Structure 1
Amino acid sequence: MNQPALTGTAAATNEPASPRRIAALALPALVVLAAEPLYVLVDTAVVGHLGRVPLAALAIGGTVMTLTAWVGTVVAYGTTGRSARRFGAGDRAAAVAEGVQSSWLALGVGLLIAVGMQFGGGALARTLAGGGGEVADAAAHWLRIAALGAPGLLLAAAGNGWLRGVQDTRRPLLFVLGPNLLSALLCPLLVYPVGLGLIGSAIANVVAQTLCGVLFAAALISERVSLRPRPRVIRQQLVLSRDLLIRGVAFQASFLSATAVAARFGAAAVGAHQIALQLWFFTALVLDALAIAAQSLVGAALGGGDDAGARALARRIGLLGGVCGVAFALLIAAGAGVVPSWFTSDPQVREQAMVAWPWFVVMLPLAGVVFALDGVLIGAGDVVYLRNLTIVAAVGGFLPAIWLAYVLDLGLGGIWAGLTLFVVIRLVALLLRLRDGRWAVVGAVR
């Protein structure tokens, strides 16, 4: 049986705010989090050179599959918090058992998504594309194939959740990196030499996600715990995850609306939006490495009764998030004249990308702090506050801004100004919550 680097309450009480301990969890999580979006960036670059229509189709289909990835994030985050608290209380077996039940939940939801997209994928693609046509048809075809990877994608998310909870970062690193590297090689091969075009991209996605899910399922079996589904525990996880699910819906309604509005500005605009948005998701998930460390360490600290250590971690991780955000902003700003050309040779798409670029750069330092503090509150189980905050920021900021951009014909600049407003609202509210300290509740289960 594989053992974590730290066990029991020692994980929660030994140097709670040590940079070395944060880095020990954050750096492997960084690779895991970066692997999937980096593959999507490769996918976007490969498909982008097929032309404007395939790139626009990938933008629409990829946005829908991003919704599935967000469902996976909810599963992973909910599992990490529960597992980490039990691990911090000294009960590793109970922490792993949380992973068993979340894996059953993930598999069921993944199968529902895979089947549902076979019947509803076409209608969804047409809705996002603003009607029928070449882009909608191509997006629907891509989506029906790519959705077959949903069960594997969600199984991997559940596996990441419980392994992070017990502070095992080595296996997730191997299980995610290997399949994504394989798929990154398959994608250009299937798209060009084999001649499958856009569909080759979807097949490569399915290969990576399915293999990843199988590896995480095998890791769970190797723990030699009972694999029997326990409906009562699954219901408890659903209740606990309810607020994260609602929060995820608010996120996805916002991003789906943004893609729908961008599509109404034309193929060049939605293609540029795809490039900028996938870079945004990439940087967001990389910055989320600190949030993953926060979930595991804060959950374990509170599970072990160390509220002072949890507060110290929150302050340090928030500061580190801001520093990392500044570093990414400098990189994105320096690459403004070069990066878009990696993804497309279409001059109109590159021109549109430059409209979103300044907003992208400005929001990154703020987003670094936001993502880090999100992780703190998720690890603490303070998800009701996060749910309410996300709904207010989406309904009161992001959604009105992007639809106003459509009404006033503000283009991508208006859409990305709305995203910046979304980040600012969340930053202010998270700092206020961190200051009042009501999130730091101790105990094995909140």
Structure 2
Amino acid sequence: MDFSFNAEERAFQQEVRDFIAANLTPDLKRAAALTPSVFYEPDISGPWHRALAAKGWVAPGWPVEAGGPTWTPAQRWIFETECAAAGTPGVSPMGVRMVGPVIIKFGTPEQKAFYLPRILSGEDYWCQGYSEPGSGSDLASLKTRAVRDGDEYVINGTKIWTTHAHYANRMFALVRTGDGGRKQDGISFILIDMKSPGITIRPIITIGGDHEVNQVFFDDVRVPVTNRIGEEGMGWTYGKYLLEFERGGGITSARLRKALGQVVTLAGSDEVGRPIEEASIATRISEIEVDIDALEMTELRIMSALQTGQNPGAVSSMLKLRNSEIKQAITKLGVDVIGYDALVWQPARPLYALNEPTPIAEDELPVVPEYLDGRAYTIFGGTSEVQRDIMAKLMLGL
């Protein structure tokens, strides 16, 4: 969308562009473009995170007193759209967008003083310990248990689909510390050092060929009680708060628009026969553009709420649902656009490490892995069915 900016906002837009020009190296830009995974590898996201941290721009959703920048919603939108347009890597959301807001809201002064600076600097790399075998959409049925032993909890159990656990040095996890009348009772929110004895990480290779997720096992893992966020047994409340930021704490429309633009470029290429000239392809492009515009307007409203210290609320489920569906529509369109080239499979990972010639153009390499990995968008972070249930109950009152 086109917006009219005032002089101060135009100056900020130029500042963002200058920052990107100074810090986005050609190698980082190429690596970002060739990453089909949901998250960028730390060797890509890390340098970008550190550059943003040095500038004070790494946590735009945080309050100023916690280390966030003094941005207006317009500046936040400018920053996100300029980064997307330039093709910058994304910062891992686990620390900045997910556990960070929970610590800010519910953490003790000691927890804030220790963890928040390490999240901002990138010293800590986080993963999420929510889902378990048999406890995915029905997360409240989780069985990983933490038994108190003096000043420590002893944790036994397993977590699955744990994105980037093989890189993380810290995990935020929901564990069962007691039992109650409801499944949601007796769950606590614990911060775990991934170097603790008794933790085993088993890789899971996705259908797209990427090592993004893992299964993590806990065998008598000892964690200090001081690593618990808030009250014992109240973890379900804190976990739901975190999910609001996971589902609706950022601006995804800008990167969706960038992804669609890349597919449009492919569709207009002679290498794939210019499918953009087909009416069905052109129609699908137009439909996705309209969907992105609608999502963007909703995100702008949420940015205004976040800037005043509010949490996203139930509308985050709508944002997550639409982002997932639009992303899948774009990746499916990409596969259809490249046609027979989609039958070429490149097993090597990461794609950006390839130096030898490939049988298809380099910008086509991530198309099929992105499509395959993107099937998970409507599952992780709460399935689309769960999001519709939340919207029906909390937004429509059904």
Greater fraction of residues in strand = 2
Give the structure, 1 or 2, with the largest relative contact order (CA under 8 Å, sep 6 or more): 1
**TM-score relative to the length of structure 1:** 0.28
**TM-score relative to the length of structure 2:** 0.31
Greater fraction of residues in helix = 1
